[in-house]
């Protein structure tokens, strides 16, 4: 069994000590600090990023609150303005309606007066024409001349009787 060759022990132990010492020095002084450095850097980065995210979250939450407040104020203002303008508009409409109603009423009165006048004028004219026709008819039928006054009286009398 080669493992029990005592003559081989010393060279193996010697080189084991040399190679293992070299490996230990390399790992302890260079390789492992490098790994821990990278791991630490990553951990710090992750922690930083998480903090940043938390900060952003808080910021967005406060922004949301501000936004909501603003919206609420704006909504209240809009309601107030709406109610005010409604009242104003109703008032204006009523005032204008009143004004135009009055204007119409006076115009109607004027027109009625005009119609009345025209009617009475027409009535008088009809009487004159009737009297004239009457006297002419009487003259051509009986040869009696009827004065204008009498004819007019007769016509008026007939018109009244027929009323």
Q: Which residues bind other proteins (CB under 8 A)?
A: 1-5, 7-17, 19-20, 22-24, 26-28, 30-32, 34-36, 38-39, 41-42, 45
Rounded least distance, CB 36 to other proteins, Å: 7
The pair of three-digit structure tokens given for residue 63, joined into one six-digit string? 């922004």
Q: Nearest distance from residue 55's CB to other proteins, in Å? A: 21
Contacts of 109 (CB under 8 A, 6+ apart): none
**Min CB(39)–other proteins separation in Å:** 6
| Closer Cβ to other proteins, 27 or 93, answer by number | 27
- SS3 string, 107-138, reads HHHHHHHHHHHHHHHHHHHHHHHHHHHHHHHH
- Smaller CB distance to other proteins: residue 38 or 83? 38
Nearest-approach distance from CB 48 to other proteins, in angstroms: 12
Q: 10 or 141: whose CB is closer to other proteins?
A: 10
Minimum CB separation from other proteins for residue 43, in Å?
11
- Closer CB to other proteins, residue 21 or residue 87? 21
How far is residue 100's CA from residue 64's CA, in Å, rounded to a whole number?
Answer: 53
Residue whose CB is less far from other proteins, 28 or 89:
28
Reading the block at residue 41, the tokens are 């850097």
119-130 burial code (b ≥16 CB/10 A, e <16): eeeeeeeeeeeb
Q: How many angstroms separate the Cα of 50 from the Cα of each of 40, 44, 72?
A: 15, 10, 33
């Amino acid at each position: 069994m080669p493992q029990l060759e005592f003559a081989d022990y010393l060279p193996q132990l010697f080189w084991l000590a040399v190679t293992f010492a070299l490996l230990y020095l390399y790992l302890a002084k260079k390789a492992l600090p490098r790994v821990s450095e990278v791991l630490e850097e990553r951990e710090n980065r992750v922690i930083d990023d998480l903090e940043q995210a938390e900060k952003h979250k808080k910021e967005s939450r406060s922004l949301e609150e501000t936004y909501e407040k603003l919206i609420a104020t704006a909504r209240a203002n809009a309601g107030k303005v709406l109610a005010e303008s409604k009242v104003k508009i109703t008032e204006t409409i009523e005032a204008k309606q009143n004004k135009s109603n009055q204007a119409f009423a006076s115009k109607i009165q004027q027109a009625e007066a005009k119609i009345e006048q025209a009617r009475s004028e027409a009535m008088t004219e009809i009487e004159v024409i009737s009297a004239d026709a009457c006297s002419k008819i009487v003259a051509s039928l009986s040869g009696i001349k009827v004065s204008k006054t009498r004819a007019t009286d007769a016509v008026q009398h007939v018109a009244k009787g027929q009323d």
